[in-house]
C-alpha cells in the first residue's frame, strides 16, 4: 500500500495534473488576481496553470495550445476580461500572435508544428478588442478555402 501511495505522489509530481504535449511549455508561473470576483480569480489561476505556448515560433507568430476546456472557461467568463488593461492581458496570455488595429489575436491549435496545415489541423483565434482596456473577447475557428 505504501508503494502505491509513493508511486501516485511521484507520478503526480512528475507529470502534473494537466497534460500538456511535449512541444509546448506552460507560459506563466506567477499567480495573477485582478478581480474581487472569486470566480474570475479561479479562472486566472487556471490560465496560469494551463496556458501553454508552442516552443518554436511559427511563421504566423506565437502559437498556443488549444485546450478546449480552458477556452470554454475563458468564453463562459468573458466578463472577467472586460475592462482589463491590454498589458495585463498580455501578462496573462503572453505575446499576441497577431495585432490588427484595435484587435489582438492568440493563435491556438493542438498541432502548431504543422504551420497552418488547415486541411489536417484545426486552428483557432482568441481575439481581444481594445482601445485602452478590453471591450470585447471572442473565439472562432480559422477556415480557409482550398
pLDDT value at residue 9: 44
pLDDT value at residue 26: 77
pLDDT value at residue 25: 73
Distance between first and last Cα of the chain: 58
Tell me what percent of the chain is helix, strand and coil, each rounded to the nearest 5: 35, 25, 40
Strand partners, 64: 53, 108
pLDDT value at residue 74: 95
Residue among 122, 23, 108, 112 nearest 66 (CA): 108
Please give the Cα distance from 118 to 20 (Å, whole number): 22
The label of the residue with cell 472577467 reads 80
pLDDT value at residue 11: 44
The list of the chain residues with pLDDT below 50 reads 4-16
pLDDT value at residue 72: 95
Amino acid at each position: 500500500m505504501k508503494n502505491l501511495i509513493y508511486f501516485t505522489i511521484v507520478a503526480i509530481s512528475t507529470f502534473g495534473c494537466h497534460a500538456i504535449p511535449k512541444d509546448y511549455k506552460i507560459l506563466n508561473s506567477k499567480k495573477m488576481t485582478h478581480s474581487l470576483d472569486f470566480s474570475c480569480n479561479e479562472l486566472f489561476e487556471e490560465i496560469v496553470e494551463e496556458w501553454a505556448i508552442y516552443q518554436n515560433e511559427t511563421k504566423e507568430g506565437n502559437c498556443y495550445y488549444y485546450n478546449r476546456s480552458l477556452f470554454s472557461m475563458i468564453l463562459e467568463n468573458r466578463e472577467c476580461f472586460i475592462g482589463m488593461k491590454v498589458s495585463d492581458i498580455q501578462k496573462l496570455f503572453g505575446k499576441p500572435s497577431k495585432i490588427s488595429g484595435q484587435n489582438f489575436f492568440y493563435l491556438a491549435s493542438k498541432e502548431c508544428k504543422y504551420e497552418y496545415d488547415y486541411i489536417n489541423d484545426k486552428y483557432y483565434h482568441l481575439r481581444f478588442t481594445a482601445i485602452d482596456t478590453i471591450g470585447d473577447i471572442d473565439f472562432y475557428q480559422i477556415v480557409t478555402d482550398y
